[in-house]
Chains A and B, each alone.
Chain A
């Protein structure tokens, strides 16, 4: 009994000691400074959450104050009341989730203010100019799904598809390759930002190339890779680009890697019948077709197309590959009769002088977002790649497709963009600031199509991106999380059951697998 009593007392003492220690190390005093000198500039904070528009349902925008000081204080408040007072010894301002959520909810459409104070060793407080942001009235879709991997080209040791609840800092794995060495996952595509209809491409030397189709809780493996996929809004068919990308390595450029498409074409997969078809208009022998995307009404398919400048489809790099520039085309489609209309050129590379890629139309059908770079079809590898926007409503009225470069661009690559369901937010990948490491940014789109200063996907640790060695890329918004478990997906990947399909591509556009010496498509990513 005495011994037990001794153990109990010792245990309690240790717990109390640990609590005290934790409080000393982690506890912050939340006093608001009353006496201070003013500094006539805004403080530097990282990540840069200043002078921009933020979603009302975003996770706490934790930041670190990059000003000299021994103590820091921050007051976060808005017009309709509610304020959060925080202090820190190291400049890290970690905002509690509950008060933050309440503050943002109560102040939709209002300004959000950050008052930052820093104290020197002698406890003299400095107050910087107030940082002002705007809380948008319109929320952002609650989930974001993306690919996370090392910036590698040809090995798939550690990569996966992840989903993130953007209303908090929780990230979870949809599927990764921790069990199955050298399995590549990419091209995740959803029907209307909903997770119940999903395609995911799988590349594996061991399990072969396939596409996973998740539809209403059933997961099936289609025995062919389908590449870039776009769901028809009806959910009855998908259009995919099949291609044979090859890796190029540059000896002197800042970006070492580049990818060239030796050939590509569009096909479509009818889910009801399980058949794959194409049209001569989608798979022209002398052209490279890629990046299909449906208009929200399902009447038009937009895609990129470029003239093939080489006759030898096996030579790498192909001749004049740096002259390949893609046009933006569209074609009408009637899902009831399964018939395609005539091709129309929306925007010509001849006019823009740049290669037009990755078109994505806002769910309200008004805005067409795309990127342009100096050549080729892989904008993420080109620092010249920028985002552009086109008002389709205006084009319908005037018959002119006018576009403009967005203010959100940087001197590094911007690409892989997607729209939130309400058409007010975009997510995109950018190599700004971190260069090798692609990060995901959000930007608010107002009703006039103006985009606001992007904010990086917030993380609990404000310094997370300063040492994160993985790239986050291909963000897609979802209104709900993906429910199918990674384990189930892996079982299907490794299983032998699969839906056989025959891809009807002529020899003029050879199947990628048929290229001599070609180890497999998508050995290279991004």
Chain B
């Protein structure tokens, strides 16, 4: 038998099976395709991911304000995003519960034919993840408010007074737990009472109470500001809307929040307006057959659902952002081969190329393969006006170079911008250890010791500091100390790449990364004289031969300067010379002709050479 919703009967397996398939798909998609580890990492793109610390002091900061409980719970659960499968499970469970709450409400509103709409909020949640945004706290507050709506509908008594008492009790509890998200509960209950149970005075009083509870409990009891009292944890909060990075996909969250009250409002109005009963037409024979084909109907409905989900994912999955986050994620973990894999043609994202250059350096290929990737003079250190607000992405480059003070500056700024994220504190602890500022390092390490996933690293260092306060046996610390500048140069900013790298080389001639980055910066800015002058530094390192891009640059320099470079017995390889001749011949073929054709042909045959960059690069 079919029920009136057009689905398999309630007691049958149809709906649970569809739910199960949908949420298994949701889980797998979030886990494998989105990968919540990237959202946890944030890569300076997601700026509102919360930090979480164990202990009373951290907890106390949450319980003293409305909405703190949900914010605390969300901060805790969000940490599981660090483990891809666990984070996906949390996200899927949250979406599933939202779906169940919506379903319950639709059922209570008598909209049995609309119960398919329960999937809409879950799809919207999925879309926010596909777009690589973090709105978990807001959606958790939404879920809590919906759960309270369901609870109200479940226990609401016949007597108006009792209903009011229950509403007030739930309001106070919910307001304390979920802050401004309580308004969703109040409005939904009010609409229900106004339009469905026809208790108009009760409904109107709920609306008045919504404001009163928020103001009295929020402002008078907890002493929060009026704006906070009404908007905490809501997507309209200035804490969300004041920040550009947090506004991404906010429209989806607005729709999510409006879904239940708007649906209820429309249903209620429809009921009032469309009171006139429409006589059911006798169904035709084919329709009757279709109704009886339960499995087919179920299959079609499920197919439509998944087609809808597929379309939503197709339009919302932000692959470019995923690549950027992946590049940063792997670079932070020094997983260099994986960093190189994140580069996908024809993407020329500065952040990805910045990470790729680091990966090339650490795999010994920067000087021979960097022009296999699109390059730009600003990409090495993310200089340039549009990158002035970028801090986190620059930090590791400075640490690797040994420019510890500069790394400290950008990390402190990153902390200010992104909050007390453990990965930032980890780097700041390292920097202070390198600088011998043990007091400050201990603060960072003790704070990290209270995190869920960085505590082992921190506690290990705290233990080591007990026996060796100078960390004289720590190879990484000692290596960084050997690279660290000991001459002070006062700067207004550290964006003078050349000065910085030459200072580092002045301090330590064997700073290979400083050398390769200096040469790369000369190549990128076509400063061939300086490049040629610094070739003598090759003697400071153990290159078995002149790196390929250096050879190509030497050829260019010698042609342009009309003089030989003293390579101290080294020779430009015959392969490079042949490539130079071939490149020259190509030019001869196109001389006076099609510039675009020349570029395309050169790109095809010489796109990975410095010849090509020198001629056609930015």
Instruction: Give the docked Cα–Cα distance between A317 and B437 (Å).
Output: 26
From 176 to 216 in chain A, residues with beta carbon under 8 angstroms from any chain B beta carbon are 178-181
Asked whether B405 lies within 8 Å of A253 as measured between CB atoms, the reply is yes
| Interface presence of A258 (CB below 8 A) | yes
Report the minimum CB–CB distance from B279 to chain A (whole Å): 43
- Of the listed stretches B159-167, B238-246, B312-320, B359-367, chain A binds B238-246
Question: Hey, which chain A residues are within 8 Å of B242, CB to CB?
Answer: 179-181
Question: Hey, which chain B residues are within 8 Å of A138, CB to CB?
Answer: none
Asked whether A437 lies within 8 Å of B443 as measured between CB atoms, the reply is yes
- Among A179, A434, A485, chain B packs the most CB atoms within 10 A around the CB of A179
Asked whether A434 lies within 8 Å of B492 as measured between CB atoms, the reply is no
Question: Hey, which chain B residues are within 8 Å of A394, CB to CB?
Answer: none
Question: Hey, which chain B residues are within 8 Å of A253, CB to CB?
Answer: 405, 488
Asked whether B485 lies within 8 Å of A180 as measured between CB atoms, the reply is no
| Interface presence of A137 (CB below 8 A) | no
Question: Hey, which chain B residues are within 8 Å of A251, CB to CB?
Answer: 403, 405-406, 485, 487-491, 494, 503
* Given A252-B405, A258-B490, A179:B239 Cβ within 8 A: yes
Report the minimum CB–CB distance from A22 to chain B (whole Å): 13
Instruction: Give the docked Cα–Cα distance between A463 and B437 (Å).
Output: 19
* Given A155-B416, A251-B405, A466:B488 Cβ within 8 A: no
Asked whether A487 lies within 8 Å of B437 as measured between CB atoms, the reply is no
Asked whether B425 lies within 8 Å of A469 as measured between CB atoms, the reply is yes
- Of the listed stretches A110-118, A241-249, A269-277, A413-421, chain B binds A241-249
* Given A150-B412, A150-B416, A435-B437, A249:B446 Cβ within 8 A: no
Report the minimum CB–CB distance from B324 to chain A (whole Å): 22
Of B225, B413, B435, B450, the residue contacting A487 (CB under 8 A) is B225
Asked whether B490 lies within 8 Å of A317 as measured between CB atoms, the reply is yes
Asked whether B406 lies within 8 Å of A180 as measured between CB atoms, the reply is no
* Given A251-B503, A436-B440, A467-B443, A256:B490 Cβ within 8 A: no
Instruction: Give the docked Cα–Cα distance between A155 and B226 (Å).
Output: 26
Instruction: Give the docked Cα–Cα distance between A20 and B420 (Å).
Output: 35
Question: Hey, which chain B residues are within 8 Å of A36, CB to CB?
Answer: none
| Interface presence of A99 (CB below 8 A) | no
| Interface presence of B559 (CB below 8 A) | no
Instruction: Give the docked Cα–Cα distance between A445 and B458 (Å).
Output: 40
Instruction: Give the docked Cα–Cα distance between A152 and B223 (Å).
Output: 28
| Interface presence of A153 (CB below 8 A) | yes
| Interface presence of B493 (CB below 8 A) | yes
* Given A153-B409, A247-B492, A180:B443 Cβ within 8 A: no
Look across to chain B and name the residue whose beta carbon is closest to the beta carbon of A322: B490
- Among B412, B417, B436, B494, chain A packs the most CB atoms within 10 A around the CB of B412
From 152 to 181 in chain A, residues with beta carbon under 8 angstroms from any chain B beta carbon are 152-158, 172, 178-181
Asked whether B413 lies within 8 Å of A152 as measured between CB atoms, the reply is yes
| Interface presence of B415 (CB below 8 A) | yes
From 409 to 464 in chain A, residues with beta carbon under 8 angstroms from any chain B beta carbon are 433-437, 461, 463-464
| Interface presence of B227 (CB below 8 A) | yes
Asked whether B440 lies within 8 Å of A434 as measured between CB atoms, the reply is yes
Instruction: Give the docked Cα–Cα distance between A464 and B425 (Å).
Output: 17
Instruction: Count A-side interface residues using an 8 Å CB cutoff.
Output: 45
* Given A435-B437, A461-B57, A466-B446, A250:B488 Cβ within 8 A: yes
Asked whether B412 lies within 8 Å of A153 as measured between CB atoms, the reply is yes
Instruction: Give the docked Cα–Cα distance between A151 and B443 (Å).
Output: 13
Asked whether A248 lies within 8 Å of B489 as measured between CB atoms, the reply is no
Question: Hey, which chain A residues are within 8 Å of B494, CB to CB?
Answer: 249, 251
Look across to chain B and name the residue whose beta carbon is closest to the beta carbon of A470: B420
**Could you mark each residue 52-79 of chain B with 1 if its beta carbon is under 8 Å from any beta carbon of chain A, else 0?**
0100110000000000000000000000
Asked whether B439 lies within 8 Å of A486 as measured between CB atoms, the reply is no
Look across to chain A and name the residue whose beta carbon is closest to the beta carbon of B437: A435
Asked whether B413 lies within 8 Å of A252 as measured between CB atoms, the reply is no
Asked whether A249 lies within 8 Å of B225 as measured between CB atoms, the reply is no
**Could you mark each residue 14-52 of chain A with 1 if its beta carbon is under 8 Å from any beta carbon of chain B, else 0?**
000000000000000000000000000000000000000
Asked whether B416 lies within 8 Å of A152 as measured between CB atoms, the reply is yes
**Could you mark each residue 390-432 of chain B with 1 if its beta carbon is under 8 Å from any beta carbon of chain A, else 0?**
0000000000000101101100110111011000010000001
Of B243, B436, B446, B491, the residue contacting A181 (CB under 8 A) is B243
**Could you mark each residue 456-491 of chain B with 1 if its beta carbon is under 8 Å from any beta carbon of chain A, else 0?**
000000000000000000000000000011111111
Look across to chain A and name the residue whose beta carbon is closest to the beta carbon of B225: A487
Asked whether B446 lies within 8 Å of A467 as measured between CB atoms, the reply is yes
Asked whether A252 lies within 8 Å of B412 as measured between CB atoms, the reply is no
Question: Hey, which chain A residues are within 8 Å of B225, CB to CB?
Answer: 179, 485-487, 490
Asked whether A155 lies within 8 Å of B413 as measured between CB atoms, the reply is yes
Instruction: Give the docked Cα–Cα distance between A248 and B494 (Å).
Output: 10
Question: Hey, which chain B residues are within 8 Å of A437, CB to CB?
Answer: 440, 443
| Interface presence of A254 (CB below 8 A) | yes
Question: Hey, which chain B residues are within 8 Å of A248, CB to CB?
Answer: 490-492
| Interface presence of B291 (CB below 8 A) | no
| Interface presence of A468 (CB below 8 A) | yes
Instruction: Give the docked Cα–Cα distance between A252 and B402 (Å).
Output: 11
From 376 to 435 in chain A, residues with beta carbon under 8 angstroms from any chain B beta carbon are 433-435
Look across to chain A and name the residue whose beta carbon is closest to the beta carbon of B487: A252
Of A252, A258, A467, the residue contacting B489 (CB under 8 A) is A252
Asked whether B405 lies within 8 Å of A179 as measured between CB atoms, the reply is no
Question: Hey, which chain A residues are within 8 Å of B439, CB to CB?
Answer: 433-435
| Interface presence of B195 (CB below 8 A) | no
| Interface presence of A9 (CB below 8 A) | no
| Interface presence of B444 (CB below 8 A) | yes
| Interface presence of A12 (CB below 8 A) | no
| Interface presence of B447 (CB below 8 A) | yes
Instruction: Give the docked Cα–Cα distance between A485 and B425 (Å).
Output: 33
Asked whether B443 lies within 8 Å of A157 as measured between CB atoms, the reply is no
Of B57, B239, B406, B492, the residue contacting A317 (CB under 8 A) is B492
Instruction: Give the docked Cα–Cα distance between A465 and B415 (Å).
Output: 18
Report the minimum CB–CB distance from B363 to chain A (whole Å): 29
Question: Hey, which chain A residues are within 8 Å of B223, CB to CB?
Answer: 172
Instruction: Give the docked Cα–Cα distance between A436 and B412 (Å).
Output: 11
Instruction: Give the docked Cα–Cα distance between A317 and B492 (Å).
Output: 7
Of B415, B489, B492, the residue contacting A150 (CB under 8 A) is B415
Asked whether A436 lies within 8 Å of B443 as measured between CB atoms, the reply is yes
Instruction: Give the docked Cα–Cα distance between A157 and B227 (Å).
Output: 18
| Interface presence of B509 (CB below 8 A) | no
Of A157, A178, A469, the residue contacting B447 (CB under 8 A) is A469
| Interface presence of A316 (CB below 8 A) | yes
* Given A433-B439, A436-B437, A436-B440, A157:B403 Cβ within 8 A: no
Instruction: Give the docked Cα–Cα distance between A254 and B435 (Å).
Output: 7
Asked whether A467 lies within 8 Å of B238 as measured between CB atoms, the reply is no
Report the minimum CB–CB distance from B408 to chain A (whole Å): 5
Asked whether B239 lies within 8 Å of A178 as measured between CB atoms, the reply is yes
| Interface presence of B334 (CB below 8 A) | no
* Given A179-B225, A433-B439, A434-B439, A469:B420 Cβ within 8 A: yes
Question: Hey, which chain A residues are within 8 Å of B492, CB to CB?
Answer: 246-249, 316-317
Question: Hey, which chain A residues are within 8 Å of B56, CB to CB?
Answer: 461
Instruction: Give the docked Cα–Cα distance between A157 and B494 (Å).
Output: 22
| Interface presence of B442 (CB below 8 A) | yes
Instruction: Give the docked Cα–Cα distance between A427 and B74 (Å).
Output: 39
Instruction: Give the docked Cα–Cα distance between A485 and B219 (Å).
Output: 11
Report the minimum CB–CB distance from B136 to chain A (whole Å): 19
Q: Known contacts A251-B494, A467-B447, A468-B443; can you find 9 more A-B pairs with CB under 8 A?
A: A152-B413, A181-B242, A249-B494, A251-B488, A251-B490, A252-B487, A434-B439, A467-B57, A487-B225
Q: List 7 A-B contacts (CB under 8 A).
A: A152-B413, A153-B412, A251-B488, A251-B489, A253-B405, A469-B415, A485-B225
